Structure 1
Amino acid sequence: MSADKTLFILVSFCIFVGIVFSLSLPVFTNLYFGYNEFHFFIRQFSVGMLSILIMWSLSQLNADKSLTIIAFGIFFICLFLMGIMHYLPESMVTSAGGAKRWIRLPGFSFAPVEFFKIGFVYFLAWSFARKLDEKKKSLKEEIKLIFPYVAVFILVVYLIAVMQNDLGQVIVLAVTLAVMLLFAGTSKRLFMLTVIGAIIVFIVAVFTSEHRILRIKIWWGTIQNMVLSILPDGIAKALRVENAPEPYQISYSLNAIKHGGLFGQGIGAGSFKLGFLSEVHTDFVLAGIAEEIGFFGVLVITAAIFLIVYRIFRISNRSENRVYYLFSLGMGLLIVFSFLMNAYGITSLTPIKGIAVPFISYGGSSILALSVGIGMVLMISKKAKL
């Protein structure tokens, strides 16, 4: 059987969209830093072509022979790299927000956490398929079964949220873990307990970091008037934050989306990318795209992302092997949660978390890692009864 060609084409389309806007959106950044006008385009084009080649190459392999070796290789290598990154000299790592997130190699840098997510999802799928089943168990028995995973996840939280100051990635992995547990056969009671535990960890992580508290205040400052207007005066007064920081980036993001209207200003004709949205080709890429190709253009991109997720879930649902079923499910969850977190962030529905738009945001590590994951799903699709 052949791999899922529709999934391959949809992912390739999204990668090409990212390549096009890597030429259009970072014009101010090129000028500000004195880069060549094709600086970001050349890099995104090179990574995009390599990613498509990797997807195709992996899709040709036999999942029964190659999948476990590739996935565990990625998992353990990236776990090791994430553990030692903090201790590497400055010449070997690139920092962001005071945290070391990228390892420098000749000619490029890469973020191990992006690849680790793929290996971690496979590790969960492989382990859940062996440890969990549909048999009815008491809550105590279920907690005992998942305790080792909680311990592993605490390590992941430390390596990513603490060492790399990247709570967004932890949130995506936490929600993915909770949903995979539910589909692996655990009860809804345990699912709710897992969600409550994740919320507690999130609250602790936020209130132990001044940077995260500031982000929450900026977000709340954007929406508090709308929310508090429907609450009783006493409650509204208690919840109101006076002198909240000005949410400049969110305001520019919303104005860029509004300026784009239904059909956009035209590719290359956006104005909010000219020094207003400072990360318009990365975190705010959807806002930049919305200004240039409008609501309907973003609707097409959104439809493509959700069709990708649908195809992955279809492969998952039709896989008889439980490891393949759970891994494909986890990959689909990673993509949809990442997309929604970014989309909700730029529209002020949730705080901004710095999560890339899958396949489209500028950044080699994210695109390459997801392409490896999609290549593995394409391997599995040859075994599924599509």
Structure 2
Amino acid sequence: MRQKLHHLDFSILVPYLLLVIFGIIMVYSASSSIMLVNGFKPSFYGIRQAWYAIIAIFVFAGLSFFLKLEIFKERKFVICFLEISLILLLYLIALKIIKGSDAAVNGAVGWIDLKVIKIQPLEIAKLALVIYLAYFLDRHDGSFSKGNIVENLYRPAILAAFMMFLVVIEPDLGGTAILAMIVIVMFSLSGIPVKNALIFLFSIAATVTLLVFLIIHWNPKFLQDNYQYQRLMSFMHPFELEQKGGAQLVNSYYAIHNGGLFGVGLGNSMQKRGYLPEPYTDFILSIITEELGVIGALVVLGILFYLMWRIMEVGIKAKSQFNALVCFGITTIIFTETLFNVGAVIGLLPITGVTLPFISYGGSSLIVLSTAIGLALNIAANEKIRREMDNR
């Protein structure tokens, strides 16, 4: 523990803490007006986010300083973590079958309500998949030469596909895409020939693009009432469909326009007062931009991208294949969530309900992401200790 404290990477720790603290402030700011109008305490969501942050920081500290990194490389731990995530995802499917639409939130059955906190199994599944792939690919390092790639990768590919299947039928297209990105990035960095990885990546991208293009132009009747389909159409025609699902994107545009370069001031957003639905979740960046301006939003995104770069840099310098892959996997989670969230807020990507990492309201996301950052800090400290020992 003393060694890890001595080798603590402040370039990861400080941005993480800044984002968590700023998230509490913005959740309070974005939710206070709606809570007041509905007869609740204006600080309701802000206080809950603060409690989530306290739990998350305790988990983060435990993973950073107290747990040995070798635990994450043990087969029993990896399989157990993976099994827990799959059981939770299967429980959601059972919940959907039994309760149907009554269990859905925003069109998807993605949460397990424990009263004190709602668990989102997808968040656990993301980290479980990263650790499992890092473990598997590390054990098979050097065996992905041309001719035996499929033979060595079919097991993790099938498992990842099954996990994505469980998520897509919730339905959660954004979560499915994040899991797919984790697989693509980690497979690509595991020693597979670059040519094969690029063919795999472009094949998936082309297939998804073609499917979306066909659905938009076909406009099938049986999908008219589907929540996910309505979101896709609202993304394509937000102003024409403002009364049928396009209101979020339209009011996001208004918030960004109102904020300008420097914003209207913290707490002074108009769009959070009933115009933008649930502004403290996946559209919190719109409120940040309105209150702190485009410059304020860019500062927040700059801190996020700096944090990603530092974790990725730890992975690049790591001598352990497992450590490197875990860092790249964690970076992929944060990057893809940020990309989907920002893309949805400014209308470049369909609205998928993906939240802004560390900022948006939500206990599951914050705790799991904090777990990932704690693991990254643990890896950073261990790599520094290993380099010092090698140089002696």
Residues 72 and 372 from structure 1, CA distance in 2 versus in 1: closer, same or farther, beyond 3 angstroms?
farther
* Gap change, CA 1:135 and 1:114, over 3 Å in 2: closer
Q: CA deviation at 1:112?
A: 1.4
Matched, 1:113 2:113: no
Query: What displacement does 1:202 show?
Result: 7.5
Residue 32 of structure 1: CA displacement? 4.8
Q: Which amino acid aligns with 2:56?
A: S
Residue in 2 that maps onto 1:264 = 263
Alpha-carbon contact 1:132-1:186 (below 8 Å) kept: no
Q: Which residue of 1 aligns with 2:177?
A: 171
C-alpha distance in 2, partners of 1:215/1:371?
Answer: 30
State the Cα deviation string for residues 228-274 of structure 1 (Å, max 9, x = none): xxxxxxxxxxxxx9999673221210121111111111111010111
Pick aligned residue for 2:29 from 24, 44, 48:
24
TM-score normalised over the length of structure 2: 0.85
Secondary structure of 1:378's aligned partner: helix
**Relative to 1, partners in 2 of residues 1:216 and 1:121: Cα closer, same or farther, differing over 3 Å?**
same
Shift of the alpha carbon at 1:72?
Answer: 4.6
CA contact (8 A) 1:58 1:375 kept: yes
Contact 1:217–1:244 under 8 Å retained in 2: no
Q: Deviations over 1:23-70 (max 9, x none)?
A: 111134313543221110110011112212221221113544332366
Asked if structure 1 preserves the Cα contact closer than 8 Å seen for 2:261 and 2:294, the reply is yes
Distance in 2 (alpha carbons) for counterparts of 1:218 and 1:136: 45
302-311 or 56-65: which moved more? 56-65
State the alpha-carbon separation in 2 of the partners of residues 303 and 134 from structure 1.
38
CA contact (8 A) 1:221 1:245 kept: no
CA gap 1:244/1:378 in 2 versus in 1, 3 angstroms: same
Q: Partner of 1:153 in structure 2?
A: 160
The one-letter code of the counterpart of 1:104 is D
SS across alignment from 2:118: strand
The residue that corresponds to 1:43 in the other structure is: 48
Give yes or no for the alignment of 1:60 onto 2:83: no
Q: Which 10-residue stretch deviates more, 30-39 or 329-338?
A: 30-39
Q: Verify: 1:4 aligned to 2:9, yes or no.
A: yes
Measure how far apart 1:383 and its partner are.
1.5
Q: Where does residue 236 of structure 2 map in the other structure? A: 220
Instruction: Show the counterpart of 2:356.
Output: 357
Quick one: which amino acid aligns to residue 110 of structure 1? I
| Aligned partners of 1:82 and 1:159 also within 8 Å | yes
The SS at the match of 1:122 is helix
TM-score using structure 1 length: 0.86
Matches within 5 A, 1:64-103: 64-68=69-73, 72-88=79-95, 95-103=104-112
Q: What are the residue-to-residue correspondences of 1:148-297 with 2, within 5 Å?
A: 148-162=155-169, 164-199=170-205, 200=207, 207=215, 210-222=226-238, 247-297=246-296
Aligned AA for 2:204?
A: A
Unaligned 5+ runs, structure 2: 216-221, 388-392
Query: How far apart, CA to CA, are the structure 1 residues paired with 2:118 and 2:242?
Result: 40
User: Take 1:303 and 1:11, find their aligned partners in 2: how far apart are those partners?
Assistant: 12
- 2 CA distance for matches of 1:104 and 1:135? 42
Give the Cα–Cα distance (whole angstroms) in 2 for the partners of residues 266 and 246 of structure 1: 28
Unaligned runs of 5+ residues in structure 1 are 224-240
Q: How many pairs were matched up? A: 365
Shift in CA distance, 47/8, structure 1 to aligned 2, threshold 3 Å? same
Bigger mean CA offset, 69-78 vs 254-263:
69-78
Question: In structure 1, how many angstroms separate the alpha carbons of the residues matched to 2:242 and 2:311?
Answer: 46
Q: Which amino acid aligns with 1:217?
A: M
* d(CA) in 2 for partners of 1:179, 1:171: 12
C-alpha deviation, 1:338, in angstroms = 0.6
User: Contact between 1:71 and 1:122, CA under 8 Å: does it hold in 2?
Assistant: yes
